[in-house]
Amino acid sequence: MFTAATVDGFPSEDCLYLNIFVPLDVDFSSHVKNLLPVMVWIHGGDFIAGTASKSLYDGRFFSNFTHTVVVSIEYRLGKELFFTEAIND
């Protein structure tokens, strides 16, 4: 899962990630492909707080228990470079 990174000691601008969890019993080497349901989860927080990388939101258990592909999105929070065109009004 995503963890915060730094480049040369400064916070990285690299902030958009997809965490993809696939059930353990999926055989990628098989020629027969069985389709699985996909659940996409976007954490809330009003662009101020929140993260998809907390252990509480780890999709491995849900993916294995429900035989579902789980996708969570990690995205930028706060105002830095976000809707910056509104600042120039």
Give residue limits of the domains in the chain: 6-86
Q: Identify which has the larger pLDDT, 7 or 62.
A: 62
Q: Identify which has the larger pLDDT, 60 or 7.
A: 60
Q: Which residues is 18 bridged to in the sheet?
A: 73
- Statement: residue 38 has pLDDT above 70: yes
Chain-centre distance for alpha carbon 8: 25
Please report how many Cα atoms fall inside a 13 Å half-sphere around the Cα of residue 44, on the Cβ side.
0
- Statement: residue 80 has pLDDT above 60: no
- Statement: residue 89 has pLDDT above 60: no
pLDDT of residue 68: 94
pLDDT of residue 2: 47
